[in-house]
Amino acid sequence: MGRSFLGRLQEGPILFDGAMGTELYHRGNIPFDRNFDELNLSNPEIVKGVHLDYIRAGAQVIETNTFGANRLRLVTHGLADKVRQVNLQGVAIAREASRLAGAETLVAAAMGPLGKPLSPLGPVSLQQAREAFLEQAGFLAEAGPDLLIMETFGDLRELREAILAARQVSDLPIVAQLTLTTDGKTPSGDTLVEGVEALQALNVQAIGLNCSIGPQPMLQAAHEMLKVAHLPLAMQPNAGFPSLIDGRYLYLSSPDYFADYCRQMVEAGVAIIGGCCGTTPRHVDALRKALASVRLRRHVFPSAAVQEQEEEAPQDPRPIAPTRLAQRVGQKFLVTVEVDPPQGFDASGTLRKLESLVASGLVDTINVADNSRAQTRMSALATCLLIQTRLGIETIMHLTTRHRNLVALHSELLGAHALGVRNVLCIMGDPPQIGDYPKATAIADITPSGLVGLIKSLNQGVTLTGKPVDQPTSFFVGCALNLNAQGKDQDRELKVLERKIEAGADFIMAQPVYDPEVVRQWHQRLGGFPRPLLLGVLPLRNHRHAEFLHNEVPGISIPSHVVERLRQAPKPGEEGLQVAVELLEQVHPLVAGVYLMAPFGRYSVLLQLLRRMERFIPNLAAPAHLT
């Protein structure tokens, strides 16, 4: 049967069917959050009906209702024990439909993506992806289809795992299809040419596109792919973009419009044509009629070894010097001071607060918070730029993963580097529910360790997905650590720290600590901090301040004897300052520096603290060769 498909591929254009999911959605009034693949077991007749209508419309190949029948998708619907049955039944229903129609219709076993992004952007490792695809491909091959079709993949890495898994259990022909966004790239950022080159290097019989875009932009994509492809192309566009009408999603491209553009694709050299979301048997029927007088143009596919055009050799970019902070690590005891951006657009007040600290020569950097407590403020990047240009001191920009998606993070980083802000602290950020816009959406495209990995990839000149950038960046990357974690939380904190270090973190910034024994215990357990650690220090104003931090601020723990000491002190602010001095006097040999926070915006307190630290830390000021 496999030879039958390959034979037809040589004879002329092959007409595939149209959408399965949207047909089931309309026919059975089935919600989109329902698992459609399970209908193979609970309602096989509705699935068979869709197949029969496509065969009667003229489809030469029908796709099984198994697009989402992999373990990772089925488990979310409580169907983890039904993987084999769903896949076997999906092929059986298609075979029965072909038999009932009395047609020589081929059956393509459909495989789609796993529904969860791959690491480091998501929770699925490459090994887990391979295992899930291996399981599904094995069951599909057992059922005996004529070919496998892998469709709607937005990540080349994931499609590669699916292909390699299928090749472990089957020699069936494979049609491998990516999906595009409206900018002409895959969701993971790969161009059409990159997609063609990557897929042609794998053991597949046809490559192409499906879903996401309509017939007109897919025709444009087909022309671009035909310039570089040496395998047959398969195109299955949507019937345009969906519109919500009377509570139902409808695709508005008419069958005649759809068929006209698909005919143009075939005339250009596309070998396999069909439909995806929103297409119906009427679309397939219109396409069959449009193709009646068309034969596959004998497109001359360029050889894989096409002679490359001579290009001017790119010049190596000039090396970018490390940040001053990176140069000072290990050379002196580091001091960074945190500041919140202003709540308006005038940063003059913020800059005035910092002037005396900067003028003292005792501070190495100013680290700028990123919408702490989910409060709306000037952007951290803009504040960093104003500090660096007007005060002449380097900054550390906090960058939260909870308030930006991957596209925004990528843009923010490149913009920061262009503006000279190259020290970055990667943190989760506070949930919107506690801030100015409690109904704002919290975004979780990536974890802090994933953000560290993204930045280190940019430093190597590539994105997380391996796509080259114009020029490598030179960020100095920090991560957070909560030294106050206890018990199981401490074990979890250690595991998270390990991931951040493995991702490439250059330094660590810790939450405020008020017990020197906590620092010693962590230092001992870790066998020394794995990266230079800047210890959080927030001088206490009084016992109420201490009680608030201990009871209401996550990640801060204050011993009861410290609270009582402040309660009894005649000058609690002075006593809080002394607590900080005593802490640093005991633990400064174990850490690389301090991360100072001003109590209630009183930066003069931090200057007092720094003056007292000079008594036992002689190299607080930067040596001349490091300025």
232, 353: one domain: no
Q: What is the pLDDT of residue 308?
A: 37
In a domain, 323, yes or no: no
145, 271: one domain: yes
Share of the chain above pLDDT 90, in %: 64
From 331-345, 545-559, 592-606, the region with the lowest mean pLDDT: 545-559
- Return the bridge partners of 131, or none: none
**Residue 302 pLDDT more than 50?**
no
Residue located via tokens 């209702």: 65
The span from the CA of 337 to the CA of 356, in Å, is 12
Nearest CA-CA partner of 210 in 138, 283, 262: 262
398, 493: one domain: yes
Q: What is the pLDDT of residue 30?
A: 67
Final residue belonging to a domain, choices 255, 290, 325: 290
Q: What is the pLDDT of residue 310?
A: 38
In a domain, 190, yes or no: yes
534, 334 Cβ separation under 8 angstroms: yes
Mean pLDDT in residue range 549-564: 86
Residue located via tokens 């029965």: 96
Q: 553: exposed, middle or buried (C-beta count within 10 Å: 0-12, 13-18, 19+)?
A: middle
- Alpha helices (runs of H) in 61-213, residue ranges in sequence order: 71-74, 83-101, 126-143, 156-169, 192-200
Type of residue at 124: V
Residue located via tokens 């892998």: 150
Residue located via tokens 């449009």: 290
CATH number, position 245: 3.20.20.330
In a domain, 387, yes or no: yes
**334-356 exposure pattern, b = at least 16 Cβ within 10 A, e = fewer:** bbbbbbbbbeeeebeebbebbee
pLDDT bin (cut points 50, 70, 90) of residue 319 is low
Structure tokens at 98: 């072909």
Structure tokens at 559: 């011993």
- Number of other CB atoms surrounding residue 327 within 10 Å: 15
Mean pLDDT in residue range 441-446: 79
CATH number, position 389: 3.20.20.220
Phi/psi at 55 (5° precision): -65, -45
350, 284: one domain: no
Q: What is the pLDDT of residue 282?
A: 95
133, 111 Cβ separation under 8 angstroms: yes
The HSE-up count of residue 65 (CA atoms within 13 Å, CB side) is 32
In a domain, 544, yes or no: no
Q: What is the pLDDT of residue 295?
A: 59
**Residue 292 pLDDT more than 90?**
no
The pTM is what? 0.59
CA 105 to chain centre: 40
Structural domains counted in the chain:
2
Range of the domain at 174: 2-29+115-290
**pLDDT tens, position by position, 216-265:** 889 999 999 999 999 999 999 998 765 544 444 555 678 998 999 999 99
284, 343: one domain: no
pLDDT bin (cut points 50, 70, 90) of residue 275 is very high
Final residue belonging to a domain, choices 225, 255, 290: 290
In a domain, 477, yes or no: yes
* Cβ-based neighbours of 404, under 8 Å, separated by 6 or more: 412, 443
Residue located via tokens 């906590």: 518
242, 348: one domain: no
The span from the CA of 464 to the CA of 623, in Å, is 38
In a domain, 398, yes or no: yes
438, 510: one domain: yes
CA-based torsion, 413, 332, 360, 582: positive or negative: positive
Residue located via tokens 């994509």: 221
452, 426 Cβ separation under 8 angstroms: yes
- Number of other CB atoms surrounding residue 290 within 10 Å: 20
**What size, in residues, is the chain?**
627
- Return the bridge partners of 244, or none: 249
Mean pLDDT in residue range 564-589: 94
The span from the CA of 299 to the CA of 230, in Å, is 9
In a domain, 197, yes or no: yes
Mean of the per-residue pLDDT values of the chain: 87
pLDDT bin (cut points 50, 70, 90) of residue 581 is very high
Pairing of strands 147-153, 593-596: unpaired
218, 338: one domain: no
In a domain, 189, yes or no: yes
**pLDDT tens, position by position, 352-411:** 999 999 999 999 999 999 988 778 889 999 999 999 999 999 999 999 988 888 888 889
416, 269: one domain: no
Pairing of strands 394-400, 272-273: unpaired
Final residue belonging to a domain, choices 263, 290, 317: 290
**Residue 142 pLDDT more than 90?**
yes
Q: What is the pLDDT of residue 252?
A: 62
The span from the CA of 86 to the CA of 66, in Å, is 7
Q: What is the pLDDT of residue 32?
A: 60
475, 594: one domain: yes
344, 280: one domain: no
Type of residue at 491: D
From 131-145, 153-167, 294-308, 334-348, the region with the lowest mean pLDDT: 294-308
169, 246: one domain: yes
pLDDT bin (cut points 50, 70, 90) of residue 548 is confident
